[in-house]
Amino acid sequence: VDMDSFNEKMEIARGLSRVDKILDSIEEKEYDDLLKVKEGLVYDPYTESDAIETEVIAYQNKFDNGTGILLKVNPFYKASGGQVSDTGEIILGDDKYEVQNINSKNIIEIPKTELNELPVKAVARIDIPRRLSIQRNHSATHIMHEALRRVLGSHVKQMGSYLDDKLLRFDFPHFHKLKPQEITDIEQIVNDKVKEKIAVYSEEMPIEKANTIPHVKKFFGEKYGEIVRVVFIDDKFSVEFCGGTHVKDTSDIGLFKIVREESISAGTRRIFARTGEGIIDYINERTAEIEKLASELPEKYADNFNLAISEFKKDFDGTDFKNTEILASLIKYHDSTIVSLLDLREKYQEEKRQLEKQLAKQKVQSAAGSIDELIISAKDVSGLKLITGEFTVDNTDELKELGDKLREKMGSAVGLIYSVIDGKIGLCAVVSDDLVKQKKLSAGKIAGDVAKILGGGGGGKPHLATAGGKDVTKIIEALDALPGIIQKYL
């Protein structure tokens, strides 16, 4: 490991932590009057109840879109350590107010309102399903952190994280892309810990005591107080300083799956993973991907897949995220199905390409039958034979192929054939070898000059060149000018 680079990355992580703290400080000061109240406040985001009776003891209207209220007891988690804030509602009498933001540990922002009498009784109702999903991702992050160290090495440290109810994201120093087997091994360690149903608990203790716990982890750059909260997930596996919310035991996490791994800078990797109901969402997303791939195939390939997916969606609806073995099998099935569909799509596309080539070949052969007639009707330009004609082709390659056939048959001559392709004029000029050598004529120059009349350009080799123009209406003008263009180069 390059220790200089490693230390540099650690400094960046510390810097980001300091930035987060500055932003938090600015946010808290939005309701500066409320910050003056210090006594009698309780911050307890670890409650298991979805509704907590509390009081609004002060409020402040500072902005057009919000009111800051100071709760005596606040059960809403304030974003910290990568975990997002809780959401929910405040109930004041018969009125309900959506929680817009958690500004500090006891200041909650709700839609703008006026309160006549203080204190006023309130009920704080947390969005518990969302909280539980966040907890699954947070506990899984702790387990994954240790799994990363055991698979990749002790240099792995948390450089940043983000976790909400949908996914978890974890940044760490590592100098190589993770190998498929390493990802499998990390997932296996985490899912084994889930199956063990390990009790997850926390303790608050003096930091001096916490620092003596073997292999305890803490975020680099974080300044901790005298008392810290330590989360234990198997005392011999994962012990970490943490103020976040967590599951009761690891079986609550459900299946753990790494869905993406990438580099975010030199020497820094980022992992995205899902757990719990996020796995249900992941499988549904993969199902939609299969449907999209199947829709790109003809019926002879897609029918069986569409039927299977239709039946699967019926059976999958309502699946419990704790059925980890079933979900793991479904993910493997979906992965193999997607691989099969990608192979079929490539096979279909190759068949389509070959068919298009065959049709193009037949089209060129059919068009080539009129070349003899063009040669017979050739014009004389200063003693040289000039052959022109229009063809119907789909692309410049087909026109060029016809140019080759014209050149094979025309003898000593100059030829210019053209076609309207996608609303534009395609040109192909050819010159026989004797005229290239003896008269110094160049198909590239001739094609280029004609194309200019048509509002385009192009060129190529002396014996054969392609060009194009935008103005289809000037093709007659260009053909009339062609003899003069040839004479210019004689």
**∠ CA 142-146-147, rounded to 5°:** 110
Distance of alpha carbon 174 from alpha carbon 134, whole angstroms: 26
Residue 422 has pLDDT above 80, yes or no: yes
pLDDT tens track for 257-312: 999 999 999 999 999 999 999 999 999 998 888 888 888 888 877 887 888 888 88
Question: Which token pair is 346?
Answer: 């490539």
In sequence order, the 6+-apart residues with CB closer than 8 A to the CB of 382 are 486, 487, 490
Sign of CA dihedral 319, 322, 323, 327: positive
pLDDT of residue 488: 92
In sequence order, the 6+-apart residues with CB closer than 8 A to the CB of 153 are 1
Residue 366 has pLDDT above 90, yes or no: no
Among residues 401, 427, 444, the alpha carbon closest in space to that of 479 is found at: 427
pLDDT of residue 220: 60
Distance of alpha carbon 253 from alpha carbon 136, whole angstroms: 5
Distance of alpha carbon 335 from alpha carbon 333, whole angstroms: 5
The helix (run of H) or strand (run of E) holding residue 295 is helix 276-295
pLDDT of residue 13: 47
Question: Which token pair is 372?
Answer: 């003899």
Alpha-carbon distance values, 320 to 88, 194, 280, 311, 323 (Å):
25, 15, 8, 18, 6
Distance of alpha carbon 406 from alpha carbon 184, whole angstroms: 61
Beta-carbon count within 10 A of 223 CB: 7
pLDDT mean across residues, the chain: 89
pLDDT above 90: percentage of residues in the chain: 64
pLDDT tens track for 57-91: 999 987 667 899 999 999 999 999 899 999 999 99
pLDDT of residue 28: 57
Q: What is the largest CA-CA distance in the chain?
A: 109
pLDDT above 70: percentage of residues in the chain: 93
Residue indicated by tokens 């068919």: 355
pLDDT tens track for 79-122: 998 999 999 999 999 999 999 999 888 999 999 999 988 999 99
Residue 126 has pLDDT above 90, yes or no: yes
pLDDT-derived band at 182, boundaries 50, 70, 90:
very high
